[in-house]
Amino acid sequence: MNAVRRSLGNGVVQAFLVLVGLVWMTPLAGLFLSSLRSAEDTAKGGWWTVLSSPGQLSFDNYSALLQNAGITRAFWNTVLISVPTTVLVVVVAALAGYAFAWLDFPGRETIFLVVVALLVVPVQIGLLPVAKLFGQLGLFGTIPGVVLFHVAYGLPFAVFLLRNYFAEMPKEMLEAARMDGGTEWRIFTRLVLPVGRPAIASLAIFQFLWVWNDMLVALLFADSSAQPLTVELQSQIRQFGSNIDVLAPGAFLSLIVPVVVFFAFQKHFVQGVMAGSVK
Amino acid sequence: MTATLVKETSPPAPPGPVAERTRRLRRRGKIVALLFVFPALLLLGALVVYPVLFSVGRSFFDASGTTFVGGDNYTEMFRDPATLKAVRNTAIWVVVAPALLTGLGLILAVLVEKVRWATAFKLLLFMPMAVSFLAAGIIFRLAYDEDPDKGVLNAAVVSVHDAFKGESSYPTARARDGQGLTKEKDGSYRSAAAAPGDALTLGLVGVQPADLPGDARPAAPAAGQKAAADELRGVVYLDFTPGGGGEQGKVDARESGLPGMKVEAVRDGEPVATATTAADGSFRFEGLESGSYAVRLPASNFAPPYEGVSWLGPALVTPAIIGAYLWIWTGFAMVLIGAGLSTLPRDALEAARMDGANEWQIFRRITVPLLAPVLTVVFVTLVINVMKVFDLVYIIAPGPVQEDATVLATQMWLVSFGGGNNQGLGSALGVLLLLLVVPAMVFNVRRFRRSQR
């Protein structure tokens, strides 16, 4: 009796979870199917009509998108912003993380507590002052400006994550390396970085996706020649409804890179996000 | 620095030079350490710490930045209707979204343990975390579209509604005055009194010939038939001959029947029989007792079509955007809670099961209390993130509804850069955002210090 009820209960649970899964997939499926339909078909009916007339589907929107100079330049800008940001965050945070974990300097504990406090500082508070600062330095509107801003606001979490990871390294290992006469730089590049690879990978993936997906920072700091895909698409949202044949494939192009990265490195990404909770 | 340890283990040497050397090495070590942290501290200092201080200072000055106004920007925040709206909406977000997400994440984390495809399910729900708010915004702009022929949500709502309430076939149809049909207060039409054995012709106008159902047939043949003694029959037809001609109130040869019309036979105000018209507009009620009847065309035939819900209208826009937010963050809550779940002591759960506790009791009395620390972390994380929500609101709310959906982050943007151009008030809003996350800051610092002991 109990077993029957349990297996019945399990059937209900399975059905419920399948339903939830379908609900979760529908919006994304809707975007993808919309991106494959012509403007005329979109005006006539919803994307679900392809289930009865699959002839509507074609890659014409995508080939048009790749001919669109604004979109392709924005795509490359996205790459030019997110790759250097990721590299810089990892390098700068690894250096600092190692110092906070194993090197001795005055005020080490206090400064690190400040870094922990900075974890939750909202990006918004930096927009106005940094815009003024970049204006004076001639960085406003440029890709390096956007990169620097992202690096600075990515650092608290990055330093926090790597310092905690490095601090777990066995003390004997470092002391042995020091006794062998290695300089700190050598120890850092030959020992700390290789040992820290899992944490660095998590950080890099998390940071890459974060910057790739950013809109707010680039909306302010990038001028029209430096703007990434998110800002380019955002600028077309005003005509929403009449330009689904541009917006839908554009949005799909912008999300396919993170989704592929996510599936390729899901373990690292999930770890990165979980370590970043309470950020 | 590198030699320090070696020196300490080596045999005693003259104290003076060694102490000198150790000190020098230690100083060099400090310089090396500072070189390691310098890039990070420079960036954090110039682009994070300095801006915080600058914003705090700037928030005490007016729009142009020349006049000190004290706390005026902060009182203005709660007086200006637009900013006040943003404060209220942010409060709604903070109260609703984290609680819903934590609850949903907890339920799903517990349930997904029971199926074998848990990993696939977790991946699917976590994936939206990798998608940008912009893309998610476009996805949900599409899904929430008000036109049921475009937005999948309204398409679903309308089809469910029509399945239960019935689809009205002729929203524009009406009867001409004085030609047999009288309009009732509730929107239905009623014929003059009739008795079994009568045949009625009920003419309507106001339907475009192009809007007629494809199976509609001319009504004239059916209109000519006689009714049996216990039968009341008739046709409902479109009293309009395409291309002109024809006589009002008469079924002319080319005039079409109106199929799919609901018809009721009414006696003493109560419907006693119902029918639906055939392709030629004919209907018949058989086996009626003799007496006086009327034929009624219920209002549902003429109701305007149901258009679904105005998701992105002023009333529902915030709940709608919170819905999109749930799509993105539920996977996060579920995975984090699931990780906590896997560390629960199995034997405690098994012991409870052996003692005959049911699943609900186990969930309520054991799982939830043991998970409390994890649930707190998830909740706090979500509160912090919800307070900063910007892109989703900016993208999903259509232009005219922006001010109904506005939250602190979007308002701060609008006031500072989007035409408001009041950087004093903008800075004050930024500082308010920062103040709101100070409890989380304290929580983080405390948690870190505790972990260091």
Residue B206 has pLDDT above 90, yes or no: no
The pLDDT, as a whole number, for residue B337 is 93
Residue A4 has pLDDT above 90, yes or no: no
Can you give the residue range of the structural domain that contains B197?
Answer: 181-301
User: CA A57 to CA A34: how far, in whole Å?
Assistant: 9
Mutation test of the interface with chain B: which of A23, A75, A123, A124, choosing the one with the most B Cβ atoms within 10 A?
Answer: A124
User: CA A212 to CA A229: how far, in whole Å?
Assistant: 9
**A4 touching chain B per CB within 8 A:** no
User: CA B247 to CA A232: how far, in whole Å?
Assistant: 62
Tell me which amino acid residue B304 is: P
Strand partners, B284: B233
Task: Read off the CATH number of the domain in which B91 is found.
Answer: 1.10.3720.10
User: What is the C-alpha end-to-end distance of chain B, expressed in Å?
Assistant: 27
Residue B329 and residue B254 share a domain? no
Q: Are A46 and B149 within 8 A, CB to CB?
A: yes
Q: Do the domain assignments include residue B171?
A: no
- pLDDT-derived band of residue A3, with 50, 70 and 90 as boundaries? low
Q: What is the average pLDDT value for chain B, to the nearest integer?
A: 86
Q: Is B344 helix (H, G, I), strand (E, B) or coil?
A: coil
The pLDDT, as a whole number, for residue A124 is 92
Handedness of CA A8, A10, A13, A17 (dihedral sign): negative
Handedness of CA A240, A245, A246, A251 (dihedral sign): positive
Mean pLDDT of A26-37: 91
Domain count, chain B: 3
> CA dihedral in degrees (A106, A110, A114, A116; nearest 10)?
110
The pLDDT, as a whole number, for residue B360 is 84
The pLDDT, as a whole number, for residue B9 is 43
Q: Are A252 and B40 within 8 A, CB to CB?
A: no
Mean pLDDT of B393-399: 91
The pLDDT, as a whole number, for residue B167 is 65
Residue B274 and residue B234 share a domain? yes
Residue B231 and residue B295 share a domain? yes
Residue B323 and residue B296 share a domain? no
Residue B137 has pLDDT above 80, yes or no: yes
Residue B415 and residue B337 share a domain? yes
* CB-nearest partner of A175 from B5, B140, B431: B5
Residue B23 has pLDDT above 90, yes or no: no
Statement: the pTM of the whole predicted model exceeds 0.95: no
Residue B199 and residue B117 share a domain? no
Q: With pLDDT > 70 as the criterion, what percentage of chain B qualifies?
A: 96
Q: Do the domain assignments include residue B357?
A: yes
**Where are chain A's structural domains?**
62-275
DSSP calls for B124-176: HHHGGGGS-HHHHHHHHHHHT-SSTTT-HHHHHHHHHHHHHH---S-TT-B--
Q: To the nearest whole angstrom, how far is the Cα of B258 from the nearest Cα of chain A?
A: 26
Q: Which of A224-228, B40-44, B271-275 has the lowest mean pLDDT?
A: B271-275
CATH class of A62-275: mainly alpha
Q: Which of A146-155, B84-93, B183-192 has the lowest mean pLDDT?
A: B183-192
Radius of gyration of chain A (CA): 24
pLDDT in tens, A40-58: 888 888 888 888 888 888 8
Q: Do the domain assignments include residue B64?
A: no
ipTM given for this complex = 0.90
Strand partners, B273: B265
pLDDT in tens, B33-42: 999 999 999 9
The pLDDT, as a whole number, for residue B166 is 64
Task: Report residue B3 as tokens.
Answer: 């030699």
Whose structure tokens read 């599936």? A263
Strands B282-285 and B294-297: unpaired
Residue B290 has pLDDT above 90, yes or no: no
Please list, residue by residue across A194-217, b when 16 or more beta carbons sit within 10 angstroms of its beta carbon and e when fewer do: ebbeebbbbbbbbbbbbbbbbbbb
- pLDDT-derived band of residue A2, with 50, 70 and 90 as boundaries? low
Q: To the nearest whole angstrom, how far is the Cα of A225 from the nearest Cα of chain B?
A: 19
Whose structure tokens read 């600092």? A96
Q: Which of B12-21, B273-282, B336-345 has the lowest mean pLDDT?
A: B12-21
User: CA B89 to CA B316: how far, in whole Å?
Assistant: 12
Residue B298 has pLDDT above 70, yes or no: yes
- The whole-angstrom distance between residue B264's C-alpha and the CA centroid of its chain comes to 40
pLDDT in tens, A144-202: 999 999 999 999 999 999 999 999 888 888 888 888 877 888 899 989 999 999 899 98
Q: Is A127 helix (H, G, I), strand (E, B) or coil?
A: helix
Chains A–B, number of C-beta pairs less than 8 Å apart: 291
pLDDT in tens, A89-124: 999 999 999 999 999 899 999 999 999 999 989 999
